Chains A and B, each alone.
Chain A
Amino acid sequence: AQKVTQAQTEISVVEKEDVTLDCVYETRDTTYYLFWYKQPPSGELVFLIRRNSFDEQNEISGRYSWNFQKSTSSFNFTITASQVVDSAVYFCALKINNNDMRFGAGTRLTVKP
């Protein structure tokens, strides 16, 4: 079965704290892609990053970083020095074929000033 689990329903931090959003996935496929999306209060989903199953190299983009570990089937997302504008719902997603993207339930992040 293909499944994405985001165990953290809501996280609240104070500005400038680091925060990690967890994502665990399940799939029997050896080739797949993982994604993170941000959904700000306005509602649209914004694509953040894509990672394929053969590339376990961690990635950093500004204050964002992603840790992909196949051994634990995890693709965690860390925001360093969080800001109020980071407040949003974050979704992790798994794609195994062209038309099947499975989303986790999302983690609502609130960054307080």
Chain B
Amino acid sequence: SQTIHQWPATLVQPVGSPLSLECTVEGTSNPNLYWYRQAAGRGLQLLFYSVGIGQISSEVPQNLSASRPQDRQFILSSKKLLLSDSGFYLCAWSTGTGGRNSPLHFGNGTRLTVT
């Protein structure tokens, strides 16, 4: 069965510090991968998605970036965090060949607080 791992679970970082969140998927090949952000009390905002190694699409301009160095690894980064980067970050995967009917399967999330 497929599983998704995301870490760390919580993170407190000062403004201006770098960020690296990692997500890995097991049990499937060539998944589509996603990073979402959920601000407190709000819905989910798609930040990045990837359909293959090295292929990253950005949905929202910001000081965050994403990379996919391996088929089942997705990394969210920032060189300098802003206060507004605080939130709950969720990684998700879907079947690469599944099309529109493929649900997204989410990790447990990372709660980031920028101080």
Closest chain B residue to A92 by CB distance? B43
CB contacts (< 8 Å) of A42 on chain B: these are 108
Would you call A99 and B51 a contact (CB within 8 A)? yes
Known A98-B32, A101-B46, A105-B42: A47·B104 in contact at CB below 8 Å: yes
CB contacts (< 8 Å) of A50 on chain B: these are 101, 103
- Measured between alpha carbons, how far is A32 from B106 in the docked complex, in Å? 21
- Chain A interfacial residues counted at CB < 8 A: 25
Would you call A98 and B100 a contact (CB within 8 A)? yes
Within 8 Å of chain B (Cβ to Cβ): is A96?
Answer: yes
Nearest Cβ on chain B to A23's Cβ, whole angstroms: 12
Would you call A99 and B106 a contact (CB within 8 A)? no
- Chain B interfacial residues counted at CB < 8 A: 26
- Measured between alpha carbons, how far is A42 from B106 in the docked complex, in Å? 12
Within 8 Å of chain B (Cβ to Cβ): is A43?
Answer: yes
Within 8 Å of chain A (Cβ to Cβ): is B88?
Answer: yes
Would you call A99 and B57 a contact (CB within 8 A)? yes
Nearest Cβ on chain A to B10's Cβ, whole angstroms: 10
CB contacts (< 8 Å) of A101 on chain B: these are 46, 104
Q: Which 9 A-B pairs have the closest CB atoms?
A: A45-B106, A105-B43, A103-B44, A43-B109, A47-B103, A44-B108, A103-B43, A99-B49, A33-B101
Task: Report which A residues bind B (CB closer than 8 A).
Answer: 31-33, 35, 37, 42-47, 50, 52, 91, 95-101, 103-106
